[in-house]
Structure 1
Amino acid sequence: MTMLSKADFENCDMSDACFQQVVHLAKINWGLSLEEGKRPLVVARLRKRVRATGSRDFVDYVQRLSYGDIDECDHFISALTTNVTQFFRELHHFDFLEETVFPELKSSRNIRIWSAGCSTGQEPYSIATIAKKTFGRREDVQILATDADPEVLRFAKNGEFDVSDVHFPSVKHKRDLFEDSESSELRVRAALRNMIDFRRLNLVQPWPINCVFDVIFCRNVAIYFDKDTQDKLWAGFSSRLKSGGYLFIGHSERINFPENIKMEPVGITSYRKFLA
């Protein structure tokens, strides 16, 4: 096999037919909607994978994916999605969680929370921080954190973050989250890590989940999907929520006609399932 030279690699382009194959693979396997306007970004990101895999060109690379190279499929989905997040992102959701949702659940047992599309873990760790403040050391409060990308899950489960990469609404939020340390590496408190079960899950494939949830977070994930896939996702979440359960979505996402899936808006990008 002849590898691309650096100059050839930088000039390597993707044919219309090859781009459509990428669009098809991304859609059928992960639900990603790759419009023509995203083509330059797709080409730029996958060029790196062409070179990293030693593929001759994009056609060779796409064949590798089509033949079921599992490891490269993981890199493929990671390359095409952006894992931009931070602790307590969209703070109004966490304020609502602390002031309204969790107090309602204090008398409940076996509280279940799902962070779907958890990325590198900032979201579920932020949820755990609020949960611990409300529920203390109760062992029946559990958080499921899922993502399709195994690389970000490994990072998230480790619970270590470089101090230069994290930002907080306040110093108190930082103290609640991390063990005391003078190191440049911040370690999430063990009590918070123990509340979370990190698992790999593809949201457009059948969900191997048997329980229903009190709260579901799925923020800035549906933006990668087309409208039909989004509608199926919202309906799926509603079916997995308890009566009166809450769903939080991203700031640029909306549920059209939430009443059709037994949901009602209760705040900014916040919804509640109808009480039975």
Structure 2
Amino acid sequence: MAFTYFFRDLQTLEVIADHILPTLKGRRTIDVWSAGCAMGQEPYTIAILLKENMGSMIFRNVRILATDIDHSNLFDAIISKGSYPEQELKRMPKEYFSRYFTPDPEKPGNFIIAEEIRKRLTYQRHNLLTLQPVRTNISLISCKNVLLHFTEEERINVIRMFYESLADGGFFLTEQTQKLPSECGDLFEPVVSNAQVFRKIPL
């Protein structure tokens, strides 16, 4: 089973807070797609970041769709309950931990994420290589630690599918080690020089 943790890749998270959120706050709905979400740490991290930087009223406009191919068939139950081991929460700022997590009475050592965060997120099984968008007019797509498992041709096709899924001016982000293929260079513009965060260029 994949292992990850909350608030991974702080550099990219800071770009979301500083450069992406200001452009999203005015939208009626803010749709986020976390592609390859594993057990939910990444989309829940994004949800907490949005809540902290938007405030409660605007946060109600957020809809996060978390997807994964999930060969284990376990992710849906884990994400729905939102219960995670303490070791996966250690990188989170302490004030966020105290604000959004409470001890899981059924599983000592685990903590459950607050309902106000959980209710903004839904989970769906999805295979990116079908090249079928799960939704369109998306504001932000996060896809980390997935594309590296694909061939170069598959990566290009999936990124083009992400492009079609995004609203004009929407954002695509991936891990630091994953560079944008040159074949997709006319689709996106880099937002910053120190993170793999890109903005859709309308054709």
Which residue in 2 is equivalent to 1:255? Answer: 180
Q: What's the Cα RMSD here?
A: 2.0
Aligned to 2:201: 274
Aligned residue identity for 2:49: I
Deviations 1:4-40 (A, max 9, x none): xxxxxxxxxxxxxxxxxxxxxxxxxxxxxxxxxxxxx
Count matched residues. Answer: 194
Tell me if the contact between 1:125 and 1:177 (Cα under 8 Å) persists in the aligned partners: no
SS of 2:199 mapped into structure 1: strand
The question of 1:178 aligning with 2:101 is answered yes
Asked whether 1:99 is paired with 2:18, we answer yes
Which residue of structure 2 aligns with residue 229 of structure 1?
A: 154
How does 1:144-163 map onto structure 2 within 5 Å? 144-149=65-70, 150-163=73-86
Cα gap change, 1:109 to 1:85, in 2 (>3 Å): same
With normalisation by structure 2, the TM-score equals 0.87
Residue 248 of structure 1: how far off its partner (Å): 0.7
Checking the alignment, whether the CA contact within 8 Å between 2:133 and 2:165 is kept in structure 1 is no
Aligned residue for 1:83? Answer: 2
Name the amino acid aligned to 2:63: Q
Match of 2:122 among 190, 197, 202: 197
Q: 4+ runs of 1 displaced by more than 6 Å? A: none
1:118 paired with 2:37, answer: yes
> Following the alignment from structure 1 to structure 2, what is the Cα–Cα distance between the partners of residues 132 and 240?
24
1:166 lines up with 2:56 in the alignment = no
With over 3 angstroms needed to count, the CA separation of the structure-2 counterparts of 1:125 and 1:209, relative to structure 1, is: same
5+ residue gaps, structure 2: none
Instruction: Provide the C-alpha distance between the structure 2 equivalents of 1:163 and 1:271, rounded to a whole number of angstroms.
Output: 32
- When residues 208 and 270 of structure 1 are mapped into structure 2, their CA distance, relative to the original with a 3 A threshold, is closer
The 5-angstrom pairing of residues 19-58 of structure 1 reads none
Q: Which amino acid aligns with 2:56?
A: G
CA separation of 1:121/1:210 partners in 2, compared to 1, >3 Å: closer, same or farther? closer
Q: Aligned with 1:197: secondary structure?
A: strand
| Per-residue deviation, 1:237 | 0.5
Q: How many percent of aligned residue pairs carry the same amino acid?
A: 26
Residues 47, 64 of structure 2: 8 Å contact kept: yes
Amino acid in the other structure paired with 1:162: P
TM-score of the aligned structures, taking structure 1 as reference length:
0.65
Quote the residue 2:61 is aligned against: 140
Q: Which has the higher contact order (CA 8 A, sep 6+)?
A: 2
Change (3 A) 1:163 1:263: same
| Bigger share in strand | 2
The structural deviation recorded for 1:176 is: 3.8
